[in-house]
Structures are given as structure tokens and as C-alpha cells.
Structure 1
Amino acid sequence: MYEAIKNKRVIVTHADRYMGPACVDSFTSAGAHVIAHGADLSSEHACAELVESAGAIDVLIVNLAAPNHYGTLVTEMGEADWQEMFDLLVHPMHRLVRLTLPQMIDRKSGKIIVFGSAVPLRPMGRLCAYSAARGAQISYVKSVGAEVARHNVQVNLIAQNWVENPAYYPPELQENPKFQKNLKEQVPLGRLAKPEEDTALALFLASDQSDFFVGQAIPFSGGWAS
């Protein structure tokens, strides 16, 4: 599988946060040429500049993180916080995909992988904006994946939760006894996934062995969601 990834040009967005660092390490170790992008992507210009400067793109990894505002009641969710979720998680994803697809369609080859969330797959209160934005990512991937499959371009999403990453599970949270108790109660495996377990799935989705995966939102949460 790794041989198929060797020398491929791979963009990793938000390379310094969420699953970015682990992705950069895993794909670099697999021999890919990784374009690690850590700058803000909230504007169309920024997305266009990244895609244009990257040249040929074999794999686009849409890795976007945002504060989840957990605990905020829907009646208290302000317009700015609601809009922020879509500005950070949804609009950049569409811009990057829209700008990258033409070259992949012309070549009849390409992979787009979105690091999403399993949260929309399981009802959770006090998480309306984050759930809505992550749910929009899933719906988008399903639609676009079906649309471009005939061009031999595969678009898929990893619907993850309970994976070690600096954005949502920093060390100080993992050390909290309340969090440890919740982890054992909520996750059948009773632990967080290691980042490399998660990126192993991304490596598979980036390889030619995943060609029959089309518009999938693949749960990766230790049995927490399915």
C-alpha cells in the first residue's frame, strides 16, 4: 500500500493542528511529497493561492479544526459563533475541493480525504453548531463523492471521535479523572485511538486499494458511533 503512495503530492491543510501533524508524519514516512499548509483558509483567496501554488495534487487532505462550543444551549448560540463553525469547517472545504477537482478530473485520478467527526452520527445536546457543520461535511462528501466517482476520483471522510490530537484532547484533558471515567463509560474500547491508527486509515484511502470507496463517511470512534 505504501508503495502506491510513494512520490505522490499530498496537501495537508491546518498541518499544525487537529490531525495535521500526524498526517504529515505518516505520509512523509510513506514516501509522499507532503505540502504542509498551516495558514488560515477562511477566505477564498487563501484557498485559491494554496491550490495554485501546489501544482499537481494527487491527494488533498482536508483537515480543519474549530472550537466546538460544547455546553452552549441552542437558545444561547449566537449568530457569530454559529457562522464561525461554517466559516472554519464547511466553506474552506468546498473551496479547496472545487479548486482541486478540475485537475483530478482531467487526469482521471485523485483522492480527497476529509478528517471529519463522528458527532453527527450520534445525538448529542448542547453541540448544535459543531454538529451541524460537521454534518454538512458528511453530506457534502456523500454528494461530491457520487458525482466525481465516474472520473476515477474518490472523495471520502473519516468520521472520527476519541482520537488523540492537540485540538480536542490535549494532555491536560486526558489526565482529568472525570474525562478518564467518561472515556471508559462511553467508548467500548475504553481508550483513545493513537494518531497513527487514524492516519493508517487515511493512508489506505489515499492508496489505489481504496478505489471502490465512494462518498463514504467511515466511523472511526472505537465503537462510540456507527
Structure 2
Amino acid sequence: MGDLTGRRALIAGGTRGIGAAIAQQLTDAGARVVVSARRRGDENGAGHFIAADVFAPQGPSQLVADTLAYLDGIDVLVDNAASQTRVPDGVLAMTDEDWLADLNGSLMSAVRLDRTVLPGMIAAGGGVIVHIGSSAARLPQPAALAYAAAKAALATYSKGLANQVGRHNVRVNLVSPGVIDTSALRARLQSLADESGTDLETAHEQFLRNFPIPLGRLGTADDVASLVRFLVSPAASYLTGTDHVIDGGLLPTL
């Protein structure tokens, strides 16, 4: 799928779910990988862990400084950090704090990381950035509208950034997963089961009825990671400024 031997990668939000799967696949392809999160947690995945809070204004700059001290350069940046605030009563019940939390976590964290990493990529003659978006940007749900709006803004930002830095041989792409089977989704399904007084299997079946997926299954973290691995490889050298939806056909439009 593409040899990444010698490439140096930073994955923000790389210790669980999609981020951990990306770290594993890039490591398997030969890359040296740093993963970050506020805390390591219980999973011992691939990559060298650096604790960082990229939601804090100075968090990205400290993370990049620590990563450069370890890797001596960053060729690949994957922005997988995100914040999703769920308000069951919908948009009219969302406070300014709810909106600002998701805009900060799902948009500005990527903006700040890119702003810190890009000078080094440009000086080195190129690099690759992948932002992890969401199909929610085009299929927003009332309880998480701030998150969907932030991811929609991330898509526009990704395209504009790609246009600006392409002349420096820096590629920027967006990956927009649909419904992916991760621990976060399973926790959400358990909450739905608890709220409705049913079991997890029933909640899962109801969820799939509400979100019919033409391929008939949930996506996996490895499905998304395989796409990211391709996008950061030389095989994707002419791809930039594009939104790669990976949702099993969930979105009803092109």
C-alpha cells in the first residue's frame, strides 16, 4: 500500500479508536510515529506517547516541540483530536460554551497544530496533513449540531489550506468517517440502551434502522486507517484538497 520507511508522523488523538489504528498502520508501514492525547489510558498501542492537551491554546506548540525533540522532524501530521458535545434537547438548548467547546476541539485544535507544524514542513520541502472530519458535517444530528458545524468548517479550512500550501509540496486532505465501531460508539449505544430501558443489541439494531448503511455493517477503525495510510503515502502524491468520505454509503448524496 505504500512504504513509509523513514517517515516521521505525529498523530494527535492517537491513543484510541481510529487514531490508534492509524498509528498501528503507519508503524507497520515503516514510519516512526508519535501519538498524543491528554493521557495514555488503558490501551498500549503503537507509537511513542507524548501527553498533550491540544484543546489548550499553547498545547499544540508544546506538543510539536516535544515531538521534534524526539523525531527531529515531522513529515506527516494527522489531526484526529475532536470534541463532541451532545445536548439531547437540540440546538436551542445549546449554550455558547457548548458551541465554543466543539469549535475549539474540532476546528481550532487542527488550525493551531497546522500553524505550528507547517513552517518545518515547508522548510524541509514538503509534507502531508490529514484532518479527520466526519460525515456529520453533511448529515448533522440535532443533539450534536455544534460538532457537525465544526467539522463542516474543518472541511472548508482543509480545502483552503491545501490551496495555499500546495506550492510548497505540502498536501492536505480530509477523511470523513461515517459510523465507525469504536469504544466511543459502543459507549454511546450503551447510553441509548440505558435511556430506553433496552439492551445493547436492541440499541444497535435501532441505531442501524435510523442510519441505514448500504453495505450493511458498521465501519471499523482499520477501514479508516487504511485510507489514511494510503493518503500519506507516495501512492497518493497527486491527491490534495479533497474530502474522502468513508461511510459504507451512508450519505444519501454524492
For normalisation by structure 2, the TM-score amounts to 0.82
Tell whether the 8 Å contact from 1:110 to 1:153 is kept in structure 2 after alignment.
Answer: yes
Cα offset, 1:67, TM superposition = 2.7
Distance in 2, matches of 1:169 and 1:151, equals 41
Tell whether the 8 Å contact from 2:162 to 2:171 is kept in structure 1 after alignment.
Answer: yes
Tell whether the 8 Å contact from 1:48 to 1:96 is kept in structure 2 after alignment.
Answer: yes
Corresponding residue for residue 37 of structure 2: 38
Q: Is 1:48 matched up with 2:56?
A: no
Ranges in structure 2 where 5+ consecutive residues have no aligned partner: 39-52, 194-199
Cα offset, 1:58, TM superposition = 0.6
Cα offset, 1:57, TM superposition = 0.2
Q: Is 1:16 matched up with 2:20?
A: no
Letter in 1 for 2:204: F
Corresponding residue for residue 227 of structure 2: 201
- SS where residue 183 of structure 2 aligns? coil
Tell whether the 8 Å contact from 2:54 to 2:81 is kept in structure 1 after alignment.
Answer: no
Tell whether the 8 Å contact from 1:18 to 1:168 is kept in structure 2 after alignment.
Answer: no
Cα offset, 1:70, TM superposition = 5.3
Ranges in structure 1 where 5+ consecutive residues have no aligned partner: none
Q: Which moved more, 1:17-26 or 1:57-66?
A: 17-26
For normalisation by structure 1, the TM-score amounts to 0.91
Distance in 2, matches of 1:214 and 1:195, equals 22
State the structure with bigger RCO (CA 8 A, min sep 6), 1 or 2: 1
Tell whether the 8 Å contact from 1:65 to 1:167 is kept in structure 2 after alignment.
Answer: no
| 1:210 paired residue among 229, 232, 236 | 236
Distance in 2, matches of 1:164 and 1:6, equals 29
Cα offset, 1:222, TM superposition = 0.5
Q: CA RMSD in A?
A: 1.9
Distance in 2, matches of 1:217 and 1:82, equals 24
Identity %: 28
Q: Which moved more, 1:174-183 or 1:101-110?
A: 174-183
Tell whether the 8 Å contact from 1:17 to 1:167 is kept in structure 2 after alignment.
Answer: no
Question: What count of residue pairs does the alignment treat as equivalent?
Answer: 225
Letter in 2 for 1:35: V
Distance in 2, matches of 1:22 and 1:47, equals 22
Give the structure with higher Rg (CA).
2
Tell whether the 8 Å contact from 1:85 to 1:129 is kept in structure 2 after alignment.
Answer: yes
Corresponding residue for residue 112 of structure 1: 129
Cα offset, 1:115, TM superposition = 1.1
